[in-house]
Structures are given as structure tokens and as C-alpha cells.
Amino acid sequence: MAESKLKIIPLGGLEQIGMNITAFEYEDSIIVVDCGLSFPEDDMLGIDLVIPDISYLKEHQDKVKGIFITHGHEDHIGAIPYVLKEINVPVYATKLTIGIIEHKLKEHEMMRTVKRKVVKYGQHINLGCFRVEFIKTNHSIQDAAALAIYSPAGIVVHTGDFKVDYTPVFGDAIDLQRFGELGKKGVLALMCDSTNAERAGFTMSEKTVGKVLDTIFSDHKHERIIVSTFASNVDRVQQIINCAYNYGRKVVIEGRSMVNIISTAMELGYIHMPEHTLIDIEQLKDYPDELMVLITTGSQGESMAALSRMANGVHRKVTIKPNDLIVLSSSPIPGNEKAVTKIINELFRKGAEVIFQDVHVSGHACAEDIKLIYSLVHPKYAIPVHGEYKHLKAQARLAEELGVAKENIFLLSSGDVLELDEDSARINGRVHVGDVMVDGLGVGDVGNIVLRDRQHLAEEGIIIVVLTLESGTGQVLAGPDIVSRGFVYVRGSESLMEEARHILDGTMQNCMDKHITDWGKIKTEIKDALGDFVWKETKRRPMIIPIIMEV
């Protein structure tokens, strides 16, 4: 019998798309589900990646038993190398997911130190107080799994990212029977994907895209075809390869992430590439355009991705031609619309034809699919996950429609501690969560203060004041000289700079008259005087850095 309560602690991923990581704690055992990253916001200047702050896991390191991964998307696995450097525990996932994770571990030279276990559907893993079962689901990447987490307090079903696809391109359909069996046993809580909860109806099958692609290929037999999609959408890539083979075309795969994931999927048998179909990009010039298909990254308008470089004319191997057909087989992720539109415009300018509608289906469950899962599982508590707040709210409404009591629906924020058992559930306190920024090789060394400085420099520019003082007397021997970057174009503002020098001369004379020799005080006087003058003349506040040398 359960005496303690089960704690569910989302450490990231709620009220946003990305950085999914959740801790499940019961007495002296913690297991972690997913370990993702998110990509930087527009105001995170120079940042490459954002990973979750795992202070709570580090504080309770002796309790953490292992990490369970639902599928191989970056927002669920991207932070694994960084987190495992802090807490080295085993990682459990399905075959393709482990294959993609291992590629990351190789890059970080961690293959020998990290224990990994490939789990099959239906298999149970016992860790501490928990038993975790992997259940087959469908998503826009192969080998996605839902998790049934058995604890002394009851069963929690975590769907991961999923859709209900009765006719998947590869493998079996979602195991709805198992969801129904768990529902009959009695499910304490359901943590369900909310991304498409606002969309009515059912999510279309991935196979429908294959029919659209076939029509495109048959209508464009004399053009070179370039298809851009998510690197991780292995089924989509398989359908593009099938069309290429059926129409006698050769395939080139371009883009670092695309090459990495597709080579892993081919090695593990998740992609079938007919013989003599795949060629290297170096061989592109050896074949006529009408026999070529390029599968590439960049469908989200990422500036460094292959399609962006082609559109901007800076790709080393591929030049867009007026006879090209570009197919964007994805929908813009919220926030990427501008970047995608910019790419489409550039491609049109180069004379190419661009198809960017109706060549994509979502990998996430729409409202009717979510209702189906609730109807099978019959949870006592509903905990919508994976989505912005509006998505979580939409799922909460669906759960209420399906008979979950309003007081049993919990819209959590990252850091909330939800304590629950068969008798009650409540949010009891918070743990520390946050964003850790990765910039180059630095992890966490860029924080809010550095970002604020970068923002300041980006918006207002910088003025550096250099002067040389005589040791002992404090007399000005040289300067003050003014160097400006990102503030005004100096040659066009000579009078402004000359006046600024006069202001600084007066400030230094004033300091000497008052016998001020403390450098800190002198720097403050310079900043105040120059800052007031620049604001009065330009209504700008550049960063002012005085540099004093003593001889």
C-alpha cells in the first residue's frame, strides 16, 4: 500500500514548445522522462541552444535512477549530453531513438561513459520504486513511445508526442489496445500531448503526403526537384525516396542533420534506399536536372541550413536555377513564419517554382485523437503537457467534456511540484527551474546580465574613452580619446565627437581641481558627463567604457 505521494515535477517544456523534461519522484527514487533543448528566442543574441536548469536533479543526485526518452526529436533528446555530464545515469529508449542519441554522444566523446539500453515495445524496466512500460505510438519520427509509469501511488500514462495513424508508412499503428487495457486497470493520471488540442477533427495519416508527392513528381517530370523537410521525419524522407525511385530519379541528401539522421535510420533498417538511387552531392553535375531529387534541411528558414544557403546563393555545391521546383514539406513552427516567407521570396526571385502548401501533415494528435486516448484511459487526473498555455487550456476543456472533474485537471508550470495519490492531488510548492544558455563551448556562462549587455550593445552601440594619467600627480598626459562602434558613423559626426571631447576635458579638469585621484570615481564622472551629453544631443544611451592607463 502507498504511504507516500507521487511527485510529478516538470523541469521544462510547459507553456512552450521545446525543452521537455519531467521528474517523477517517489520516496527515494527519481526517474526522468525526456531531456530536450529549445532554440533561442530573438532576444537571446548569439546563443546557440537553451537547455533546462537541472539544479533539482543535482541536489537529489543519489535518488536519480535513469532517463526514459519517448522519441528522438531535439526538444526531447537535445540536452542529453549536457545533462549526463552533470548526472551520469542510464538512458532507456527505443532502437532508432538510441541510435540518434549515440550520434550525439559520439560528438561529445561520451560513448564509453554513458550506459544505454534499447527497449522494445511492451518491455518493462524496473528502477527503484518505479516500473516503466514502453507503448507503441505514431509520430513524425519512427519509434515513438508512450510510457506507462507504475508507482506505488498508481499508474501514470505519459503519451509523449503522438498521433493516431492507422496506416503508418513504416511499422505498426499505435497500440490503442494497450491504452484500453491500462484504462481497465485504473489510471491515476494522464499526461497527454496538447500541441494540436485546438484543432478539431483527426490528424491525417502520413501516407496522404505520399499521394501528394506522387502527383507533384508526375506533374514535374522535366524539372529538378528539391524537397525540404524536417531531418527527423524519416517516414517523409522514405516517401520522397519512393517517388524518386518510381520516376527513375537519383537522390542527393544535403544538410548536416539530414545526413546524420538518415544515415542512422538506414543503418538501423528504418529507411529502405533502393540500390543505385543514392548518389553523393559531388556527382550532381554528372546527371541531367530532370533525373535529380535533392532532400534537404531548412524548411523552417534557419539561416545556416542548406535550403537557406541555396536561396541566398552561398551554397558551395547547389545553385538554384529557373527550372527548379522547390517543395517545402513542413508547416512553419510558430515564430518561424517570417524566416520561411523570406526564403520562399528569394527562391521565387531566382525563377524557381515553389510549392509550400498541402505537402505536410502534423505529427501531433488533434482534438478527436486526444478524446480517443482519454476515452480509452479514463484517468482520474488530467495533466496536459507539451504546448503553450493556450494548447494546455484547450486540452483541459476536452478533458472536462470527457468527464474528468474540473478540480482534477492540473495546468502546471515548469517548476510546480504536483503531489498525488488515489485520494487527492495538489500543487505543493515549487523547485528551481530556468534556462541554461549554450554559446559555443560555454554552457551556462552567459546569463541574463551578459544578454542584457548584448542587447544594450545591439540597440545603442558603445563608446570607449581612453586616457593616460601620470602616476602620483593624476595629471592627464594623453587623451581623452573617443572610440565609437555602433553608435554613430564617426566621420559623419565630427562636430559631435569634438564637442564630446570638450565635455571630457572639462570633466577631467574638474576632477583635478577637486584632487580626485580614485579611478573608480573618475570613471563614474566620465560616464555621467558623457552619458548626459550624448542623451541630450542624440536621445541615445550607448554603453560607455572608460579605460585609464597610468605611466
Catalytic residues: 193, 364
Smallest Cα–Cα separation from 234: which of 96, 37, 137, 77? Answer: 96
The closest of 141, 31, 140 to 89, measured between CA atoms, is 31
* Euclidean distance between CA atoms 195 and 15, whole angstroms: 11
Q: Which three cell numbers stand for residue 114?
A: 554513458
Burial class (CB in 10 A: 0-12, 13-18, 19+), 474: middle
* CA dist., res. 237 & res. 227, Å (int): 9
Question: Starting at the edge strand that comes first in sequence, how are the strands of the sheet with 189-191 ordered?
Answer: 124-127, 130-136, 145-151, 154-158, 189-191, 381-382
> Helix (H, G, I), strand (E, B), or coil: what is residue 479?
strand
Phi, psi of 196 (to 5 degrees): -110, 25
Specify whether the CB–CB gap between 410 and 382 falls below 8 A.
yes
b or e along 204-223 (b: 16 or more beta carbons within 10 Å of the residue's beta carbon)? Answer: ebbeebbebbeebbeebeeb
Q: What does DSSP say about strands 116-118 and 91-93: parallel, antiparallel, or unpaired? A: parallel
Q: How far is CA 217 from the centre of its chain?
A: 32
**137-146 exposure pattern, b = at least 16 Cβ within 10 A, e = fewer:** bbbbbbbbbb
CB neighbourhood size of 311 (10 A): 25
Backbone angles phi, psi at 383, to 5 degrees: -130, 90
Rg (CA), the chain: 29
Beta strand 29-33 with 21-26 is antiparallel
Give φ, ψ of 294 to 5 degrees.
-105, 130
With residue 522 as reference, give the H or E element that holds it. helix 519-538
Contact 189, 257 (CB under 8 A): no
398/500 Cα distance (integer angstroms): 64
For the chain, the 3-state helix, strand and coil shares in percent, each to the nearest 5, are 35, 25, 40
Strand partners, 93: 118
**How many C-beta atoms lie closer than 10 Å to residue 385's C-beta?**
27
250: three-class secondary structure by DSSP: strand
What is the distance in angstroms between the CA of the first residue and the CA of the last residue of the chain? 78
